[in-house]
Structure 1
């Protein structure tokens, strides 16, 4: 959106007309649209804070309870694995369950299991502790998948012409959650112990539930006829899903590994480890509205934002360690700088994905409405979850075997491959369209030339 409170409404094509449409609709923000913004903002802020508080101190606590780095990575990764399955199910049956009920129920369960995570330090160490971590983490993943799938669908329904702009603007609250979660969790852990970060944030999320029950609109829609399979088998959608996988894997890789690397390499206490995550989260938060706005106002730029964002991300992960072949000494300021650039490149790639997949769905005959929005939201959440499972799981394993520097470079290769594949597809697509356009022009000229002799006859 151009400014806070910028509403949604039909916009005429063209640059000046589009700006005029935005200014005109700025005076017509409906109450339902405002409530959707408030509800989504509360979910993004609360859930991201609960999600991100584990990074600064949980790996060390889990090690004390007998969990290896590989198991810690699997605990982080299990969240994404079950979010993957749940997102596909919730996206398919969104209109049957009801978007509002799915949103509120998901937020309620997420707050409850966050509190339960705070009592796991009382569980006996070893297999029982590890099993309880998996159980609570999986439950949280399912509840979050329900809330975020419903949230994205309702948001796209309320703002059909400004999807990326609104999502990018609301990512400020997701970024704030990622920014505030690690340092707040780290300092609460240092000051009051293991339980307090989870109890505090879980209760905060539960307090948002009555608010959303009262204000969130209840959108109704008929079930659609199309499936995830038809959507994901489109070559363009499949490649965008690959980009999403690579980006989420890169993010997920940092969860179990970055805090351990920073503590080992720079000897920072837990409270300051959370601040290292700040560079990535803050730059992502600040850049998100800009890239969302660009995706809506300049649709022709979406493809290149996707491609170059992935390539820049790949470069960042080569420098994160840095990879030993570069012969660059690892320094804290360089780590923070690369994290800042990585946050910007991530926003560059992420926000064009929703409108790109949605446009592709409509081009392939999917009907407009909440049903298709649910499919797209569920698909994006599921594809993000695939990478978010592989990233921490593979990251924890590689960290043990080859060290942080090489493990980060492996993640960078994934982003590099996805960016190059996406760029090649767009170049081929552009070439096909040019040939098709030229063929149509030549065909029209040929038909006209064939008709000219007949037209000249008396």
Structure 2
């Protein structure tokens, strides 16, 4: 499918904004702890400064998703970027504060506001993706996630270099201003989006609670959370696990880049497969088993006689990036489709709800992952602690397999969702790929509005999805 000029412009400005936002969110990791300790803060105190970011995203993302269609995707997107950039700049002046309590308190406050801005930016961007690229949601999402992942890698590296060049304030001010420039670009290029519905009447989309009550979407939310728990687990415990290998700081830094780089490399592949070739649920199941293999090797699992060696750890991290990406991209793709198939209107309000759910559950896992990892590492050691992540992903695979089996009993499945108009159903049912099987072989079609089946020859003007 050839993109229009507007789609290409949207894709480019999104890529720039995603990259710059990720750089600003992640740049403080190498030197903020050192600055906090110089003010008298403990690791527990400044550790929560990092953790509060994900907790805030978890809380506010569903709220943004519920009200996206009222606030407006473009306004939320630009306000989110502007807030993230402004708070990044403010964070660079914390070194002027000498009182420990004031330093930590302001760190918390700025980080919370930054998380609110970042959450609004992500929720709106995911919704606009679904609106602008309805036939290539997975591939587009995956490409932008690659840009975001590159930003998360570049952020600490570039931040550390700027810190050495000009001290604590320089990286925050310079990179915050870069994000402000990106915000200006998106403000000028992005069109305004409205909640379109038939007959000019606003169609009520439902609530986040109604969305999560759909079994397929509840499973997707669990898979998203399990995936983010796995990456948070490694961020918190990989360094002490690798310490006996006596690696240099540079080598250790490369180990942390491995799974993120692999995720960025393969994410567009998973997006293309989910959009065009494979049922996203199959991709989720595959990803879950790959993550299970990864954590079995990197532990290594207490029941396997495998020594902890550098080659084994490298293979395990590459596998984790591959499986992690498969789960995240496929769940994002399938959640939008499942919402529409289960009665939610195909509009910006539904996109906002699903995007808010995705962002929120990912943030919850990112908050739980490091917290649980640290406690389990102290309690049972790294090898047994990895069993926790393995079990989580084993449940992902089992639940999705059961869901596919139950769905297959209710209707035939081609593995791909196809949007068709009723006129095609009437003129050429076979070309439309409609479901057949009634006594008189009349083609049947699944309605968006209430997920029931209707005769293709019935009098209607709606669009439908066949799965």
| TM-score band, normalised by shorter chain | 0.7 to 0.9
Q: Which residue of structure 2 lines up, in the alignment, with residue 7 of structure 1?
A: none
Paired residues for 1:5-404 under 5 Å: 22=1, 26=2, 29-58=3-32, 62=36, 71=45, 73-124=47-98, 127-189=101-163, 192-221=166-195, 224-225=203-204, 226-259=206-239, 261-262=241-242, 266-269=246-249, 273-300=252-279, 302-404=280-382
Change in Cα spacing, 1:61 to 1:257, as seen in structure 2 (3 Å) is: farther
TM-superposed deviation, 1:257: 3.6
SS of residue matched to 1:160: coil
CA distance in 1, matches of 2:384, 2:39: 27
Cα deviation digits, residues 86-113 of structure 1 (max 9, x gap): 2111111112111111111110111122
TM-superposed deviation, 1:374: 0.9
Cα deviation digits, residues 146-188 of structure 1 (max 9, x gap): 1111111111111111111211222231222133223333444
Higher deviation after alignment, 125-134 or 214-223? 125-134
Change in Cα spacing, 1:62 to 1:267, as seen in structure 2 (3 Å) is: farther
CA distance in 2, matches of 1:391, 1:130: 23
Paired residues for 1:426-441 under 5 Å: 426-433=404-411
Conserved 8 A contact 1:76-1:256: no
TM-superposed deviation, 1:239: 0.9
CA distance in 1, matches of 2:220, 2:96: 43
| TM-score, structure 2 normalization | 0.80
Change in Cα spacing, 1:299 to 1:312, as seen in structure 2 (3 Å) is: closer
TM-superposed deviation, 1:45: 0.7
CA distance in 2, matches of 1:264, 1:182: 24
Conserved 8 A contact 2:17-2:183: no
Measured on the aligned residues, the alpha-carbon RMSD in Å equals 2.9
Aligned length, in residue pairs = 414
Cα deviation digits, residues 403-428 of structure 1 (max 9, x gap): 44444442333222222222222233
CA distance in 2, matches of 1:326, 1:54: 38
Conserved 8 A contact 1:398-1:404: yes
SS of residue matched to 1:242: helix
Change in Cα spacing, 1:367 to 1:307, as seen in structure 2 (3 Å) is: same
Q: Which residue of structure 2 lines up, in the alignment, with residue 456 of structure 1?
A: none
CA distance in 2, matches of 1:400, 1:197: 35
Q: Which residue of structure 1 lines up, in the alignment, with residue 424 of structure 2?
A: none
Q: Which residue of structure 1 lines up, in the alignment, with residue 420 of structure 2?
A: none
Change in Cα spacing, 1:75 to 1:165, as seen in structure 2 (3 Å) is: same
Conserved 8 A contact 2:291-2:324: yes
Task: Point out where structure 1 has 5 or more consecutive residues left out of the alignment.
Answer: 1-21, 446-458
Name which structure has the greater RCO, CA cutoff 8 Å, separation 6+.
1
Conserved 8 A contact 2:69-2:195: yes
Task: Point out where structure 2 has 5 or more consecutive residues left out of the alignment.
Answer: 197-201, 414-434, 441-467
Cα deviation digits, residues 321-368 of structure 1 (max 9, x gap): 434543433334433332222111111111121231122111221111
Conserved 8 A contact 2:19-2:147: yes
CA distance in 1, matches of 2:255, 2:38: 23
Cα deviation digits, residues 271-303 of structure 1 (max 9, x gap): 554332221121111101111000010243x11
Conserved 8 A contact 2:332-2:358: yes
Change in Cα spacing, 1:189 to 1:291, as seen in structure 2 (3 Å) is: same
